[in-house]
Structure 1
Amino acid sequence: MITLPDASPQQPSIASAGAYLRSISGAQRLTLCGAGLAGVLWMGTQAAIPLVVGNTVDAGLVRGNRSDLVLGCLLLLGLCVAAAVTSVVRHRFSVSNWLLAALRTQQLIGHHVADHGLTVASRTTTGEVMQAAGTDATRFADLMDMVARGTGALVSFIAVTVYLLRIDVTVGLFVVIGLPLLAACSIVLVRPLQTRQSRHRTAEGELTSLGADTVAGLRVLRGIGGEQQFTDRYAERSQEVRRAGVVVAGLQALLEAAQVLLPGLFLAGLTWLAAHGVLTGRLSVGDLVTVYAVTAFLRLPLETATGVLAMWVRSRVAAGRIIAVLEQKSPPEDVVAGVALPGSPSELVDPGSGLRVRPGQLTALVSARPETGIEITDRFVRLSSVGPSPTWGGVALAEIAADEVRRRILLSDAEPWLFTGTLREQIDPASAFTDAEVLAAVRTAAAEDVLAGLPDGLTATVGERGRDFSGGQRQRLALARAVLLASRPEVQVLILVEPTSAVDAHTEARIAERLSRARSGETTLVVTASPLLLEGCDHVVLLEDGRVIAEGTHRQLLRSDARYRDVVVREDSPLEVLS
């Protein structure tokens, strides 16, 4: 009994598409060997039938030996039964190989995304990940399914060729030379097909990403009346994918037509040679029957060979796409023994930008390019290795295990992720806090209205990704979770990235006031350009081109720095008069 999926899948080589194929094949070599043996027996019994038929005709009919005729018929019956039994065994092995390859690849991608999710998300589109785990994993599995038939086709072809050479050298040489020429012609057609399939696969991934983004932002699109624009865009990209698919289909049709035409011409020539051999006396009637029967049989290994070749092309393209996902990894951990994070509140410093997060203060990071601030916060929790390592109390964070850094420095990302479960599980995933503490965090995030709108309160069920909530509601629930988890004794720094970008001004004002009070005396860094949040911060830092260019309080910078005013002042902001 094979347990699926594998509890601990072997990490494959991702040096190249071929290396990945070899790694996955090696992980299931036992079932592949079983499939190959079953395939040889299955196709070998079918290859033996024409040979037995020819010998039976010569011995039983031409020479009139009844015992040989009966023996030949019984042998044919045995071969038919053996072919049926081995076919069942081969099919079971083939299905097992398909499932093992597909599920192992999907499991590897799932584990990889779980371990390196932020890095994968920043470098690879959602569509590419979905296509790799869905379409590409099954295309690669199709090649594993073909191992049994491919091995049987190769062995039976060699056996039939040797037998034909014994019957007649001319017929045997025709087979030995003709079949490699057929394979070469198939390769000529397959190479452009591989290129076109790769382009079509890329277009499919881009279209899937566009669809996923559109669905994710459907609520916003309806609010701004942008549904038609995105519908037209999706339709245009769909037509591009369709046109690429038509080109691929044309080449695929040409290859499939060649798979019928070229073997047909080959088999017609083989039949003519055999008939001519009978007329000249080089072949017996039984030999002629054998050649005719072999001619019919050879269609199977020929079609199998071209099918394996096509599967090989598709699997290499698929493996390349899978590797593109698996090679996106978070920076490695270089941990120095004996180095530990400071036990008391200390200054957090980013040498690359010059940012200094003072202990016990609420610090705001302002930049005209929000992604610059995100790059810095990613370095603080070791999600990025770009630039010099930040330090905390003089200790380089690169020298500390990433798990330990993230246990002490809590990052709440800009994307408000919610998961299926109860509302309480979204805010307190480990059930480590009391209801009173959870409700206090909800109030800090000004999310009481979200809770009040649910009949079951904290026990209400949250749908997939919190789709039943608006963007602002999801953001406030995520903020409540961050504030609550940051109250744990081991957490010394809380980092919030754009925590109020999706809420209205009145709600944002309440959040700013409550957050400032809740985090009083605690080290907190907020990446934001909201004047309402900035007003409640102890210290504000302005970035330009990735470097600190000004520091002070919000009001000081409003009065003294025009660059700061350009970034944070809104036309409808009452604080604009302070400039």
Structure 2
Amino acid sequence: MRPLPVGDPGDPDVRSATRYLVWLAARTWPSMLAAISFAIIWMLSQALIPATVGRAIDAGLTDRDADSLLRWGAVLFGLGLVTGVTGILRHRMAAFNWLSAAYRTIQLTVRQANRVGATLPKRLATGEVVSIGTSDINHIGGALDITARGTGSLVAVVAVGVILLRTSVPLGLIVVVGVPVMMLIAASLIKPLQRRQQVYRDQEGKLTTRAGDIVAGLRVLRGVGGESTFAGRYRTESQELRSAGVRVARIESLLAASEILLPGMFLVLVTWLGARFALRGEISVGELVALYGYAAFLVSPLRQLTEAIDRLTRGHVAARRVVRMFTLEPEFTSPAAPVTTPAGPLVDAESGLTVRPGRFTAIAARDPVDAAAIADRLGRFAEGTVTLSGVSLAELDLTTVRERILVADNDARLFSGPLRAELDPRGSGDGAIAAALDTASAVDVVDALPAGLDTAVAERGREFSGGQQQRLRLARALVADPETLVLVEPTSAVDAHTEARIAARLGAARAGRTTVVCTTSPLVLDRADEVAFVADGLVVAAGTHRDLLRRHPDYRATVTREEDQ
């Protein structure tokens, strides 16, 4: 077996959930085939035990033949040995198939998230993606795991039916007819179960998103007194999820009950008929004992077949959600024949903004949403007509655009892992990190950590305050040192003294490079080479901060309001 996870997860078949599950099975066909083979041998060896016991009784005890008794006893021992060995190997193969499907799904999910990029949160809620890694992989892996046991159980039931037909035609017919009837009864629950599981899965994704939003914005909620409102919404959605779970549980409880009730009724019927046939002398004592053994044995494969129906249904629902994500396409892609362009003015035709190369430009918008929209267009994260040196960004390779123009906003996150790797993923060196930390006024944040840059950061940087996270994210953007850096409200969460230090250092740190900052902070605006004032999505004035203060009342009102706040 290959080590997991594999280097290349492959290209999945996403035409349907069923095709995706089949594709996963095909990617591990040697272990799938081995698991099915071992499961068949495992179940057949158990199915032959009652027949062996019956023969031992008839040939050894009834006929008082010690040699036959020893011979059939040895066969029974061999069957037990085969059952034990194949059971271990089957479980090992099935566990590998489970892990392979789970790992491969996670790898494909991460790859798709990277491919789709900024389009993903626009199309799917965060909770949907999180649920793939927490619950869906369990159900998908479980579907591949149960396949081997389900196949082995089906073969065992057929084998027992054939044996019983040779022993007694009526008993054999009961198995041949009764088992499909029981499967049809269990299968009748699948459609409603699938629908209810789909509703439950949707509600679960929404609640996960809600919980993530509450945790991420807990400080803000406490500040504005919105805890009770969000707690009420969470409580309502939690009750909706509970109700959906209860509806699923009703069907699952019926399915679980059928796992016990139907085989139990089958066991009673076969045992009763077998006893009557034995009393009439139609079957021997050994065959009667074997019949009891078969009746008891059939409970296991029948329960496993019912379990297989349940787990395959869960896997299909989960695969449908995964396929939905895998079929998403990024909003923006590279053109078939991308062109190249030298550094030059960056122009947003929609707003009338012109960013000259090598300068520190600030965008002060009466409505901050307008500034953020311009930043998205400049980085080609939103539709727009933006040119670089007269060439449309749509004509450039998307990877080149991402490398040359970096947009850093407050929706960015710190990832878990060593802080050094988080700030400097490309390996620019500790010197670049130190300079960036100094510019972002974040040296004290790193100095306070127990292992400095080697400290392991928790997911989303939970150990840092909002202001500390913002400074570290700014440092990360500065280490990247792109040709054009677009910062959206980079100092909104820090105090005035820290903001003044950052504003004083930012221009020098980015000397010779193009820097765009969306802000209405006078401390930052005063340091910019040029300020563009945006109202109703359009640049209505441009100049230095002090010049605009003197001659533009609307600008003065906007930045003065910022000072008052």
TM-score band w.r.t. shorter chain: 0.7 to 0.9
- 1:463 aligned partner: 457
Matches within 5 A, 1:340-489: 340-343=339-342, 345-350=343-348, 355-365=353-363, 370=368, 373-374=371-372, 376-382=374-380, 384=381, 387=383, 390-419=386-415, 427-432=423-428, 435=431, 440-447=435-442, 450=445, 454=448, 459=453, 461=455, 463-464=457-458, 465-486=460-481
The AA in structure 2 aligned to 1:73 is G
The alpha-carbon deviation at position 299 of structure 1 amounts to: 0.9
Normalization by structure 2: what TM-score? 0.86
Q: In the superposition, relative to structure 1, how do residues 573 and 381 fare at CA in structure 2: closer, same or farther (>3 Å)?
A: closer
Distance 1:421 1:71 in 2: 64
The 8 Å contact of residues 499 and 523 in structure 2, kept in 1 or not, is answered as yes
1:524 aligns with 2:512: no
The alpha-carbon deviation at position 356 of structure 1 amounts to: 3.9
The alpha-carbon deviation at position 33 of structure 1 amounts to: 0.5
- 2:540 aligned partner: 550
**CA offsets 1:463-515 (integer angstroms, 9 cap, x no match):** 324333321222123223333433xxxx4322112212222345445544543
The alpha-carbon deviation at position 82 of structure 1 amounts to: 1.7
**CA offsets 1:114-133 (integer angstroms, 9 cap, x no match):** 55454334443333333211
Matches within 5 A, 1:298-337: 298-331=298-331, 333-337=333-337
Q: Give the alignment partner of residue 532 of structure 2, picking from 498, 515, 540.
A: 540
Distance 2:248 2:388 in 1: 55
Q: In the superposition, relative to structure 1, how do residues 443 and 80 fare at CA in structure 2: closer, same or farther (>3 Å)?
A: closer
The 8 Å contact of residues 352 and 387 in structure 1, kept in 2 or not, is answered as no
Distance 1:64 1:254 in 2: 49
Distance 2:421 2:159 in 1: 65
- 1:501 aligned partner: 492
Find the residue that maps to 2:13 and give its secondary structure: coil
Distance 1:428 1:253 in 2: 53
The AA in structure 2 aligned to 1:394 is G
The alpha-carbon deviation at position 182 of structure 1 amounts to: 0.9
Distance 1:60 1:483 in 2: 87
Find the residue that maps to 1:387 and give its secondary structure: coil
Q: In the superposition, relative to structure 1, how do residues 425 and 313 fare at CA in structure 2: closer, same or farther (>3 Å)?
A: closer
The alpha-carbon deviation at position 526 of structure 1 amounts to: 2.6
Same amino acid, percent of matched pairs: 42
The alpha-carbon deviation at position 398 of structure 1 amounts to: 3.1
Distance 1:350 1:7 in 2: 42
The 8 Å contact of residues 361 and 529 in structure 2, kept in 1 or not, is answered as yes
Distance 1:456 1:218 in 2: 26
Q: In the superposition, relative to structure 1, how do residues 104 and 221 fare at CA in structure 2: closer, same or farther (>3 Å)?
A: same
- 1:289 aligned partner: 289
The alpha-carbon deviation at position 53 of structure 1 amounts to: 3.0
The 8 Å contact of residues 210 and 234 in structure 1, kept in 2 or not, is answered as yes
The alpha-carbon deviation at position 400 of structure 1 amounts to: 3.0
- 1:76 aligned partner: 76
Q: In the superposition, relative to structure 1, how do residues 413 and 329 fare at CA in structure 2: closer, same or farther (>3 Å)?
A: farther
The alpha-carbon deviation at position 284 of structure 1 amounts to: 4.2
- 1:120 aligned partner: 120
The 8 Å contact of residues 194 and 313 in structure 1, kept in 2 or not, is answered as yes
Counting matched residue pairs gives 562
- 1:203 aligned partner: 203
The alpha-carbon deviation at position 212 of structure 1 amounts to: 2.8
Mean CA deviation greater in 354-363 or 400-409: 354-363
The alpha-carbon deviation at position 456 of structure 1 amounts to: 7.9
Find the residue that maps to 1:146 and give its secondary structure: helix
The 8 Å contact of residues 428 and 479 in structure 2, kept in 1 or not, is answered as no
The alpha-carbon deviation at position 245 of structure 1 amounts to: 2.6
The AA in structure 1 aligned to 2:182 is L
Q: In the superposition, relative to structure 1, how do residues 40 and 115 fare at CA in structure 2: closer, same or farther (>3 Å)?
A: same
The 8 Å contact of residues 348 and 391 in structure 1, kept in 2 or not, is answered as yes
The AA in structure 2 aligned to 1:52 is T
Distance 2:562 2:379 in 1: 36
Find the residue that maps to 1:432 and give its secondary structure: coil
Find the residue that maps to 2:516 and give its secondary structure: strand
The AA in structure 2 aligned to 1:538 is E
The 8 Å contact of residues 454 and 460 in structure 1, kept in 2 or not, is answered as no
Find the residue that maps to 1:524 and give its secondary structure: strand
The alpha-carbon deviation at position 167 of structure 1 amounts to: 3.0
Give ranges in structure 2 of 5+ residues lacking alignment: none
The alpha-carbon deviation at position 100 of structure 1 amounts to: 1.9
Give ranges in structure 1 of 5+ residues lacking alignment: none
The 8 Å contact of residues 196 and 244 in structure 1, kept in 2 or not, is answered as yes
Find the residue that maps to 1:290 and give its secondary structure: helix
The 8 Å contact of residues 487 and 518 in structure 2, kept in 1 or not, is answered as yes
The alpha-carbon deviation at position 427 of structure 1 amounts to: 4.8
